[in-house]
Structure 1
Amino acid sequence: MTILVTGADGYIGWPTALRIANRTDDRVLLVDNFARREWVEEVGSKSATPIAGIDGRIEAAEEVFGIGNMSFVEGDLVEKSFVDELLAVHEPEVVVHAAAQPSAPYSQINGERANYTQHNNMQATRNLLWGLEEHDLTDTHFIETTTTGVYGAPEFPIPEGGAVMENQGDSDEVPFPAMAGSWYHLTKSHDAANMRLAHQQFDIPISDVRTAITYGTETEETREDPRLKTRFDFDYYFGTVAHRFAAQAVAGYPVTVYGKGEQRKPFISLEDAVEGLANLALADHEERPDDLTVYNQVTRAISIVEIAETIAGVGSEFDLDVAVEHFENPRDEDETHKMEIEDDRYADLIGDQAQDFESGIRDVFESLTAQADTIAAHEDRFLPGVLENWDAEE
């Protein structure tokens, strides 16, 4: 059996491929075009954690874990001819599709980046779905990391999948409406619709894994050798809010909370995200979903102010004196929104495993404090405007 992992050089893609390969003797084929490295360099930043080249990563996996079932193909999934050759030659029974331009802020820079993001992300997914149909691979389990960002911030508990629409006394379950707030998030809304159509027309078994904001720098496997580390972005464009806050703390700045900061966002640790994807990829044919199944890949919702206070508390363990400062909110948002999101299906998928937020932030500080010089050299890439005149030495 062949398991194909796209975006395998990325933050989630690499540790997912590593875990899958470490738990099976089946062949695990990695695919990437290294665009993520180029995008981050384009915005003037870099991974805080030094990351090895793909050949070095695969070599380290073999040396550390005895993994001999990983191989790599470089290519761009936007090119249909590449996807056709990939599927025709390797005939995967499982596709874990983690390749995308994943940054909302990057997609919002200008029209060029918005167009690029939408073309890149949606074209790759369509090529894979149509490729499975055209190469008689419609029994292949297609697993995609979409995003909880497709839900927006409704004032009701978010279901794990569809929604119920009522009109004139009648009701029916319908796909959850696209309430995305960025050009990036909208690509995943379109992907969700295209996957639903592909399932209806081609009968492909599909798992739509709506991934929450992911935090942390380590998984069980990446801890074992520096060459196995995944990338760790801390800049405004590619770093998540928790990672940027931690970078501010390491650089000697306060953590900045706009307004009350009581609004909650869905989060999941890198360890738990990898576990869920690996379990889906390795599910027996009889146990995997045969339908289109939506998973809310989230373990809890966390408020911005709790993130800041946790970072301040854990930072003290690393001899960092971290202040939490509140500033007037320049954004038009509900500072008290209490997001509720159902995750029963995903909780069943990962079982009792769940890394708590505090231990995940501890991993972040372990990584960032070891790379303090890199953080200091790129502080203009993550500091918010309210800290432009702040003296970090005070």
Structure 2
Amino acid sequence: MTILITGADGYVGWPTSLRTASQTDGRVLLVDNFARRDWVDEVGSVSATPVHPIETRLEAAEQTHGLTNLSFVEGDLTNKAFVNELLNVHEPDTIVHTAAQPSAPYSQINGERANYTQHNNLQATRNLLWGLEEHGLTDTHFIETTTTGVYGAPEFPIPEGGATMENQSEQDDVPFPAMAGSWYHLTKSHDAANMRLAHQQFDIPVSDVRTAIVYGTQTEETRADDRLNTRFDFDYYFGTVGHRFAAQAVAGYPVTVYGKGEQRKPFISLEDAVEGLAQLALADPDNRPDDLVVYNQVTRAISIVEIANTIADVGDDYALDVDVEHFENPRDEDETHKMEIEKERYMDLIGEQAQDFEAGIQDVLDTLTEHADVIKAHEDRFLPGVLEDRLDD
């Protein structure tokens, strides 16, 4: 068996690679072009945790966990010739596609970055899907991390995938409409539609894993050796809300909540996200679904103000004096929206939640307090500014 993992240098992709390789004797081939490192550098920031070169990571994986089945290929998935060679040479049985430009704020900076995000994300996915068809690999299980952001913020419980539409007393199941709120999130709506079309036309088995906001710094595998760290972004563009709040607390800043902050967002720990992807990657070809299946990769919805208050409470154990401050909300959003999202299919996949939010914040603060100097040296990155200044020059 050969499992191909794209975006394997990334926050979710790297620990997923380790988990997958640790549970199979098959080959796990990693692919990345290291663009995430360049994007973060472009906005004037850095990972709080040191991110070692891929060669060092692979060496540590073998020395620490005995993983001799990991290998790496550098390449750009938007390059059709590279994808053709990759698939032709390695003929993967499974593809876990985590490669993407993942930042909504980055995609919103200007038209150039909106275009880049859409081209990068959509072209990579199309190249892989068409490549499977053109190289006779339509039995390959295609797994992609899209996003719960494709759903927007509807006023009804979000289904795990499609919806039922009724018109003039007739009804049918249809894909959930694209209600994304950024140029990045819309790429994942388009990817979902393209995967559905590829399944219909090419009969490729597809798992559309709609990933919530991920929190945490470690998994069982990465915790064993500092060289195995995954990245941790805390800046305005690439740091998620929980990570940004935690970094603010470590730097001595008040945790800034816009408006009431009572709106709930879907969350999942890094440990639980990795476990689900590994389970899908390792699924027996004879037993996995041949259909297109949508998973809501989420364990619970959490309000923004609960995130801030949890960080303040846990921060007491680290001698952090954390203030939670509310500011006028510059965004046009419902500050009291109570998201409900179905997740039974994904929870069946992982069995039970491995890490709740409070434990995840403890994990984050354990790590960030060790690297407080890095955060403080880049504390101006909590808010936008540096990149815009560069664009104006």
| Same-fold call, TM cutoff 0.5 | yes
Whether the aligned pair in 2 keeps the contact of 1:299 and 1:354 (CA below 8 Å) is: no
Whether the aligned pair in 2 keeps the contact of 1:222 and 1:229 (CA below 8 Å) is: yes
How big is the shift at 1:287? Answer: 2.4
For 1:27 and 1:149, how far apart are their aligned partners in 2? 32
For 2:116 and 2:324, how far apart are their aligned partners in 1? 37
| Aligned residue type for 1:144 | E
1:321 corresponds to which residue?
321
1:70 corresponds to which residue?
70
1:389 corresponds to which residue?
none
| Aligned residue type for 2:210 | R
Superposition pairs of residues 199-218 of structure 1, within 5 angstroms: 199-218=199-218
2:287 corresponds to which residue?
287
For 2:111 and 2:258, how far apart are their aligned partners in 1? 27
What is the percent sequence identity of the aligned residues? 82
For 1:39 and 1:259, how far apart are their aligned partners in 2? 30
| Aligned residue type for 1:345 | R
Whether the aligned pair in 1 keeps the contact of 2:87 and 2:132 (CA below 8 Å) is: yes
| Aligned residue type for 1:267 | F
Matched, 1:311 2:311: yes
Superposition pairs of residues 50-61 of structure 1, within 5 angstroms: 50-61=50-61
Superposition pairs of residues 6-25 of structure 1, within 5 angstroms: 6-25=6-25
1:377 corresponds to which residue?
377
TM-score normalized by the length of structure 2: 0.97
For 1:356 and 1:241, how far apart are their aligned partners in 2? 16
Structure 1: unaligned runs, 5 residues or longer = 386-394
SS in 1 for 2:49: coil
SS in 2 for 1:180: coil
For 1:324 and 1:175, how far apart are their aligned partners in 2? 40
2:391 corresponds to which residue?
none
For 2:381 and 2:73, how far apart are their aligned partners in 1? 32
For 1:295 and 1:287, how far apart are their aligned partners in 2? 17
2:42 corresponds to which residue?
42
How big is the shift at 1:209? Answer: 0.1
For 2:384 and 2:360, how far apart are their aligned partners in 1? 23
1:264 corresponds to which residue?
264
1:106 corresponds to which residue?
106
SS in 1 for 2:326: strand
1:120 corresponds to which residue?
120
TM-score normalized by the length of structure 1: 0.97
Deviation sequence 1:87-138 (CA, Å, 0-9, x none): 0000000000000000000000000000000000000000000000000000
SS in 1 for 2:256: strand
Deviation sequence 1:206-255 (CA, Å, 0-9, x none): 00000000010000100000000000000000000001101110111111
For 2:257 and 2:116, how far apart are their aligned partners in 1? 31
Whether the aligned pair in 1 keeps the contact of 2:255 and 2:308 (CA below 8 Å) is: yes
Whether the aligned pair in 1 keeps the contact of 2:237 and 2:384 (CA below 8 Å) is: no
SS in 2 for 1:121: helix
Structure 2: unaligned runs, 5 residues or longer = 386-393
Whether the aligned pair in 1 keeps the contact of 2:312 and 2:324 (CA below 8 Å) is: yes
Report the number of matched residues.
385
How big is the shift at 1:151? Answer: 0.2
How big is the shift at 1:352? Answer: 2.0
How big is the shift at 1:354? Answer: 2.9
For 1:2 and 1:77, how far apart are their aligned partners in 2? 18
Which range moved further: 165-174 or 112-121? Answer: 165-174
For 1:142 and 1:245, how far apart are their aligned partners in 2? 34
How big is the shift at 1:180? Answer: 0.2
How big is the shift at 1:327? Answer: 1.4
| Aligned residue type for 1:224 | A
Deviation sequence 1:151-174 (CA, Å, 0-9, x none): 000000000010111111111110
SS in 1 for 2:236: coil
SS in 2 for 1:317: helix
For 1:108 and 1:4, how far apart are their aligned partners in 2? 30
Moved over 3 A (4+): none
For 1:294 and 1:240, how far apart are their aligned partners in 2? 23
1:335 corresponds to which residue?
335
For 2:56 and 2:208, how far apart are their aligned partners in 1? 31
For 2:174 and 2:99, how far apart are their aligned partners in 1? 27
For 1:326 and 1:287, how far apart are their aligned partners in 2? 50
Whether the aligned pair in 2 keeps the contact of 1:208 and 1:295 (CA below 8 Å) is: yes
1:4 corresponds to which residue?
4
For 2:283 and 2:354, how far apart are their aligned partners in 1? 19
SS in 1 for 2:268: strand
SS in 1 for 2:318: coil
For 1:341 and 1:125, how far apart are their aligned partners in 2? 26
For 1:352 and 1:195, how far apart are their aligned partners in 2? 28
| Aligned residue type for 1:380 | D
CA distance 1:146–1:131, change in 2 (3 Å)? same
For 1:310 and 1:383, how far apart are their aligned partners in 2? 22
Whether the aligned pair in 1 keeps the contact of 2:98 and 2:145 (CA below 8 Å) is: yes
1:388 corresponds to which residue?
none
For 1:365 and 1:49, how far apart are their aligned partners in 2? 12
Superposition pairs of residues 140-155 of structure 1, within 5 angstroms: 140-155=140-155
How big is the shift at 1:383? Answer: 4.2
1:32 corresponds to which residue?
32
For 1:287 and 1:278, how far apart are their aligned partners in 2? 15
SS in 2 for 1:214: strand
How big is the shift at 1:353? Answer: 3.5
For 1:374 and 1:289, how far apart are their aligned partners in 2? 45
| RMSD of aligned Cα (Å) | 0.9
For 1:7 and 1:360, how far apart are their aligned partners in 2? 23
1:193 corresponds to which residue?
193
| Aligned residue type for 1:373 | D
SS in 1 for 2:146: strand
Whether the aligned pair in 2 keeps the contact of 1:248 and 1:383 (CA below 8 Å) is: no
| Aligned residue type for 2:17 | A
